[in-house]
């Protein structure tokens, strides 16, 4: 190996650059980050100020609430950057519902050995910040939404590591107690009583950390013409119905997952998910080819709506310049290696997974109506670690990156071909809880 490296003269030059500057900085193609990706889009539906999820894993929630915010801002003619929906409010109930689902799952698996794969998976991460399109839709349908100023973020929700450590310690302890009750053949009434006792403790921790969600509030704002408006004594559900008013049942989860285990044209769900027990909204995706996937996103943009999506933002990205491009880094020439895995192979080997949710805010089309690059609204703010984040928080995603690292979108089902709309009425195939596609472990 040493003898072979001595002959690899191109890598000797690369070694000097990489040791001094790092891998990405040394291999980044300037033409990709500067010339090939101007921040201009032929279809541009959203240019509002981006939000900032801080040190938390709430991207899926931020992206969906930003999608809803877009409609409120447009309908009420609100000044740019002056309005957000409260992520803290929905996050409070997300944590409570996840705790409840965890306890139910523990009871359901209580007769299994502690080393059973499902039990081990539950115990490893009783709850966390992640989620998906269907879970946030279910939360909104049950609890509604409210403006950010009514229930703003706290020090805990801006950096959730401490809260997650406390909650997971509590839930693991609760799990042992619930398993013991099942082994003692306790009645269902006694199990429910124990679960409610534990949930009461979870609620208390959440209230201390986030504040208790208000049941009613007043909505006050000034529009772009400086006209004052007020609507008093609203519940969160009343606010949603009156000021957001999106028919959430018209929107569905769509994925592009080209693997042997997940054929196109089928509906999929994931075992032991669906955090709101009893909700009509459960985690589900219809798997479609990329051309269908992409066309649905473009149709929704043409209708004036941003598109929620999940991708692997860790791949081929420059966060400071706001570029997502498969050609961004020339690792192959720099190291003298060759990448050969396709999208499906990367997924099944855990090389590329859905890691982050954002909004598609626009697309640039060529003369033949084909997409060239996509405008992306992120939720990382405009600055991090004293460096800019993208274009005032927005990113550019080239179309090849879209093909390779986009995994799911939330779109109006009317934008899918009829054959895939019919799939939505079928019984879903169940992917295992430990599937890499699971957003909740």
Per residue in 387-403, pLDDT (tens digit) is: 889 999 999 999 999 99
Q: Catalytic positions, please?
A: 59, 356, 378
Q: Which of 346, 282, 336, 275 is nearest to 311 (CA)?
A: 346
Beta bridge partners of 429: 268
Quote the tokens at residue 404.
């390779």
Instruction: Read off the pLDDT of each residue in 184-188 and give the average, rounded to a whole number.
Output: 96
Helix axes 133-143, 87-108, angle to 10 degrees: 110
Q: In the chain, helix, strand, coil percent, each to 5?
A: 45, 20, 40
Position 134 scores a pLDDT of 96
Query: Phi first, then psi: what are they for 222, rounded to 5°?
Result: -115, 135
Amino acid 386: pLDDT: 84
Comparing 43-57, 280-294, 366-380, the range with the smallest average pLDDT is 43-57
Bridge partners (DSSP) of residue 252 are 411
With b for 16 or more beta-carbon neighbours within 10 A and e for fewer, the 401-417 pattern comes to bbbbbbbbbbbbeebbe
Residue 108 scores a pLDDT above 70:
yes
Which band of pLDDT confidence, cut at 50, 70 and 90, is reported for residue 441? Answer: low
Q: pLDDT digit string (tens) for 17-59?
A: 999 999 999 999 988 877 778 898 999 998 888 999 998 999 9
| Residue 317 dihedral angles phi and psi, to the nearest 5° | -135, 140
Q: Give me the domains of the chain, ranges plus CATH numbers.
A: 33-431 (3.90.70.10)
Q: What is the pLDDT of residues 229-244, one digit of tens each?
A: 999 999 999 999 999 9
pLDDT for residue 440 is more than 80:
no
In order of 172, 241, 276, the CA distances from 175 in angstroms are 5, 38, 19
Confidence (pLDDT) at 48: 80
128 close to 438: Cβ distance less than 8 angstroms: no
């Amino acid at each position: 190996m040493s003898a072979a490296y001595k002959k690899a003269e191109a890598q000797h030059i690369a070694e000097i650059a990489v040791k001094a500057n790092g891998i990405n900085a040394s291999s980044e193609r300037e033409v990709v980050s500067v010339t090939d990706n101007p921040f201009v889009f032929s279809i541009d539906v959203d240019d509002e100020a981006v939000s900032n999820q801080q040190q938390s894993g709430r991207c899926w929630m931020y992206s969906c609430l930003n999608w809803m915010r877009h409609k409120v801002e447009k309908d009420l003619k609100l000044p740019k950057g002056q309005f957000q929906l409260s992520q803290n409010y929905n996050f409070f109930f997300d944590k409570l519902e996840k705790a409840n689902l965890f306890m139910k799952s523990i009871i359901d698996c209580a007769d299994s050995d502690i080393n059973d794969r499902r039990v081990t998976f539950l115990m490893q991460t009783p709850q966390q910040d992640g989620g998906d399109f269907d879970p946030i839709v279910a939360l909104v349908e049950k609890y509604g939404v409210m403006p950010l100023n009514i229930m703003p973020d706290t020090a805990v929700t801006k950096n959730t590591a401490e809260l997650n450590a406390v909650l997971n310690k509590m839930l693991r302890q609760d799990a042992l107690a619930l398993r013991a009750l099942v082994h003692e053949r306790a009645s269902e009434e006694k199990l429910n009583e124990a679960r409610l006792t534990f949930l009461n403790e979870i609620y208390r921790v959440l209230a201390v950390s986030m504040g208790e969600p208000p049941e009613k509030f007043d909505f006050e704002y000034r529009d772009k013409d400086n006209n004052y408006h007020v609507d008093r004594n609203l519940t969160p559900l009343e606010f949603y119905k009156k000021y957001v008013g999106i028919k959430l049942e018209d929107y569905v989860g769509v994925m592009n997952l080209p693997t042997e285990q997940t054929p196109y044209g089928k509906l999929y769900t994931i075992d032991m998910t669906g955090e709101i027990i009893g909700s009509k909204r459960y985690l589900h995706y219809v798997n479609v080819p990329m051309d269908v996937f992409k066309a649905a996103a473009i149709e929704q943009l043409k209708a004036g709506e941003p598109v929620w999506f999940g991708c692997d933002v860790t791949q081929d990205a420059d966060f400071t310049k706001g570029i997502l491009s498969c050609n961004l880094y020339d690792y192959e020439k720099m190291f003298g290696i060759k990448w050969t895995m396709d999208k499906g192979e990367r997924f099944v080997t855990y090389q590329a997974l859905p890691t982050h949710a954002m909004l598609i805010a626009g697309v640039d089309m060529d003369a033949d109506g084909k997409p060239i690059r996509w405008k992306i609204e992120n939720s990382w703010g405009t600055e991090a670690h004293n460096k800019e984040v993208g274009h005032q928080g927005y990113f550019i995603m080239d179309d090849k990156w879209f093909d390779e690292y986009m995994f799911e979108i939330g779109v109006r089902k009317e934008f899918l071909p009829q054959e895939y709309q019919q799939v939505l009425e079928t019984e879903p195939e169940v992917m295992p809880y430990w599937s890499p596609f699971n957003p909740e472990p």
